[in-house]
């Protein structure tokens, strides 16, 4: 999970050209283990840039270093917020989508964001109802 956050953070930083902080990780699915002696390959790409936040999809693969065979082992969607030098949120550049696949991921990111925000609102209400 640490490597996922690093790879996602690098992608977000490169897009925003600013410091970024992790604000959410969702849909972290483990499909297969990575065994000792196998290489770990991570691929991260921005799926959507909002005003100050970005969603990054990170896919993890195991690779046999002798044969080069790769198999996806896990994936996650991670949300980062861009910060200025004072630590305040700052706007990020829009994401330019070119391929049909990028456009599909862009659309799907909005639905995930809405779910994420609704879940956070419910959790916030439950927390303060108990206090």
Q: How many domains does the chain have?
A: 1
Q: Which of 93, 14, 87, 85 is nearest to 52 (CA)?
A: 93
Euclidean distance between CA atoms 12 and 18, whole angstroms: 9
Residue-wise pLDDT for 13-33, tens only, equals 999 999 999 999 987 878 999
CATH classification at residue 32: 3.10.129.10
Residue 37 in 3-state DSSP? coil
Mean pLDDT of 106-130: 85
Write the CA distances from 63 to 12, 20, 54, 58, 60, integer angstroms: 25, 29, 28, 16, 10
Residue 124 has pLDDT above 80, yes or no: no
Residue-wise pLDDT for 52-74, tens only, equals 999 999 999 999 999 999 999 99
Prediction pTM value: 0.89
Domain that holds residue 41: 2-130
Mean pLDDT of 38-47: 97
**Exposed e or buried b per residue across 95-117, where buried means at least 16 C-beta atoms within 10 angstroms of its C-beta:** bebeeeebeebbeebeebbeebe
pLDDT band for position 131 (cuts 50, 70, 90): low
> Which tokens belong to 105?
């991921």
């Amino acid at each position: 999970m640490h490597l996922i956050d690093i790879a996602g953070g690098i992608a977000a930083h490169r897009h925003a050209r600013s410091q970024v902080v992790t604000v959410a990780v969702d849909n972290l699915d483990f499909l297969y283990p990575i065994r000792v002696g196998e290489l770990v390959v991570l691929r991260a790409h921005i799926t959507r840039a909002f005003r100050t936040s970005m969603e990054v999809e990170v896919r993890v693969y195991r690779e046999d270093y002798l044969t080069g065979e790769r198999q996806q082992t896990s994936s996650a969607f991670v949300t980062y917020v861009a910060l200025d030098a004072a630590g305040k949120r700052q706007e990020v550049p829009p994401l330019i989508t070119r391929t049909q696949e990028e456009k599909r991921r862009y659309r799907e990111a909005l639905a995930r964001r809405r779910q994420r925000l609704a879940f956070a609102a419910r959790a916030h209400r439950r927390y303060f109802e108990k206090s």
